[in-house]
Every structure is written in structure tokens, then in C-alpha cells.
Structure 1
């Protein structure tokens, strides 16, 4: 199992902290063998939790020029028609995916094409399922122009725990559907805005896998 580069420092710090705490307990209470095992066990549990959060499994993306792939692992929490007011300023179908701390948090491009717009916004840290999290939380908005000329907007949104959004795309860059584009630490959300008439292939409450699940067809 690979681990994402965004987690290297956190993994090392967690491992060192767990080992340091165990050494302190042993030095302070040399005869309390039970406490040694308890401290070691808790350290291992916490380290494993951190490791699973930063896991980076390989994904095989389905091919198809008009396919829209899930940009993240998680659960579909919104499928609705709405007005995208930040960039597109028109009616769109919004599909939102909530990522809990136990999900893989690697973010991927939903479609192939050219990156037309990238913008980062500082903001609040409302819980990721809050209706206003899309417009008020810390977030990154990215627009990819598909080869057909359709613009697909998607948004990384920080949650109450996620306070570090990473994105690797630049305007003008050519990308492929399923390609890694960023990472959000801890619970968070991804919104995708698709043109009216797009065929949606998922349902509310469905669990999806980033870069593998076909979210929709343009």
C-alpha cells in the first residue's frame, strides 16, 4: 500500500510522538508493565488510523470521452439542479460527495480536457454537509473545458476538521479523467457542476470511488 506524499510529515511525527510517549511511561513507571502495553497499543492504533487516512491506492479509470468520473471517494449527499453563481453563472446539476475521515482523500479530475480556471478562497470551516459550505468554506474552484466545449466546474471544500486543501493543477494544463489533482486532509466534500441534460449515473446515499465510479455522462 502506498501513502500519499501529503501525509509523510504527519506519519513521521505521529510515529515519533507515540514512541516518545512509550519511552516516557517506561522511564516514569518502570514496573507498570500493563501500562507499557496499554501505551504501546494506543500508539499503534493511532498510527494505523493516520496511515489509513493517507493511503493512496492505485485506481484504474474507465475509458470514455464523455464519462464524468467521481473526483473523490465518499458518499453522494446532493443531486439537484441549482444555479452556480461564482463562475459559470447558469443552471447546473450539482452532485456532491462527502468524504469522511475513513475515506481515501486523494482528489481526481472528473473529466479530460484543458484547465480553464483555478481559484482558491479562504473561508469558514462549517461541517462539510452544511448547505452553505459550498459558498462560505475554504475551497478551491476548478473549471475544466472538455473536448466537446462543455465546461465542468468542480470544487474542493474544507470541512470542520479539514484545514489544508492541496491542488496541483494550473490554468492551461491538459488533464485526463481520473488523474490525481489534489488532496484534502480529514473530513471534507467535493462538488461537481454539470450541464442540464447530463445523464446522472449515481443515486443519493451511494458510495463512490474516486477515478473509478462513473458519476455521469455528458
Structure 2
């Protein structure tokens, strides 16, 4: 059934419908220039809120990208919201031209969520992870491993929309949220995950492979 759902994020309809209505009204009253401008804005908004179904790769123990964008940081750092221990942190920057629907990187159950108000530094800056507004989700896998996904608002993006709640059991690549108009996602993984991405890689949410849990 998922293949037949509209490929537009539901949260975007509150922007798209009014813009389309204004475009139509301008056209009806012969305001061609305003109709053109409004039409372009409507088209961009539809493009921004697109929600394509990913081609989920086959394989066991794969960790997928939670977002479309560019890998701007790979480092070992202390996860600040839940575990307070060193983990591998992969940061993905989403420009206004990327799809902003975020997806679950690995099957598991939500054990905790946390909203942290903050600043709105540019999402690709070093300060964004620590100081910007964010919504974080901690997952527990079947093997009792923990993964943390932090949705971070940027200079332009000032609204984080969560599509999940506590105790939800998430499937691979399930939609978990949306960040409007330019943002960042930090993915915290255990140290025994074998990373398969490099700095500067372009990734696709729910499709690109970030890493793989080592078999035990």
C-alpha cells in the first residue's frame, strides 16, 4: 500500500494548498506576474516536501542513512542526551534542496525521546550539534544495542516535526520525522559498527548504507 500513498509529506500540505490557491486566484484575476511568482513558490514547496519511497537494500545488520544529504562529520564523541558515553557520530547536512523526511536507520524500539530548545546556528557548523534546537530519539535493537538519532534545526529550519512516540517499534527505513527548510541529522552508533561511508559522501535516507553491525 505504501507505493500508492502521495509522495508528499503530510506536513507540507498546510503550505502547498494555500500557495496553490493564491496562485489560482492571481491567475483568475489576470495578475500574471504574481501568479508566476506564486506558482514558482508552490512548485518549490512541493519539491521540498517530496517524500519518495527508498530502495531499501537487502542484507543483515545494515545501518541505513536516516536522511538525504551530505556527510559533513565523522568522529567519536560523547552522546549528550541519553547515554553520556563515547559513540561514533555521523553528521548529515540537509540543504534546502534535499528531501527532509527522516527515516529510521535500524529496526528497534524507541526507549526514550528528548526535545532540547536551543539556538539556530548554520546546520553544517561545529556548534550545531551542541547548541541548536534538537529532537533526539534513542532506539534499542533486538541485540540490546542503542542507537541515537538527533534531528537538529538549522539557521533556516526552525521546526522539527516528530512522527513517532515512546515505545513505538520501528521498522527499517520507517518515517520518523521531518525538519523544515535546511537542517542536520546526527546519528550516534556503537563503536563496534563498521562504518561504510566517508566524509563528503552524498547519502539517501532509508537507502544508503552508513555501516554494518559486526556479527557476534
Q: Same fold (TM over 0.5)?
A: yes
Residues of 2 paired with 1:21 and 1:171: CA distance? Answer: 45
Residue 32 of structure 1 aligns with which residue? none
Residue number in structure 2 paired with 1:156:
151
Aligned to 1:92: 87
Quote the offset at 1:18 in angstroms: 3.1
Shift of 1:112: 0.5
Partner of 1:10: 15
Q: How many residues align?
A: 208
- The 2-side partners of 1:54 and 1:170 are apart by 22
Answering whether residue 51 of structure 2 is matched by residue 46 of structure 1, we say no
SS at match of 2:47: helix
Matching residue of 2:3: none
Post-superposition shift, 1:148?
1.1
Determine which structure has more spread, i.e. the larger CA radius of gyration. Answer: 1
2:120 counterpart of 1:115 = no
Determine helix, strand or coil for the equivalent of 2:173: coil
Contact map agreement 2:135 2:151 (CA 8 A) in 1 = yes
Secondary structure of the 1:60 match is coil
Aligned to 1:136: 131
Residue by residue over 1:107-143, the C-alpha shift from the partner in whole angstroms, topping out at 9 and shown as x without a partner, is 1111101111111112111110121211211110101
Q: Indicate conservation of the 8 Å contact 2:23/2:36, yes or no.
A: no
Q: What SS is found at the alignment partner of 1:14?
A: helix
Q: What is the distance in 1 between the residues matched to 2:133 and 2:199?
A: 24
The question of whether the paired residues in 1 share the 8 Å contact of 2:78 and 2:84 is answered with yes
Matches within 5 A, 1:154-193: 154-193=149-188
Could you tell me how far 1:43 is from its partner in structure 2?
2.4
- For the Cα contact (< 8 Å) 1:53–1:102, is it kept in 2? yes
Question: Which stretches in structure 1 are left out of the alignment for 5+ residues?
Answer: 27-35
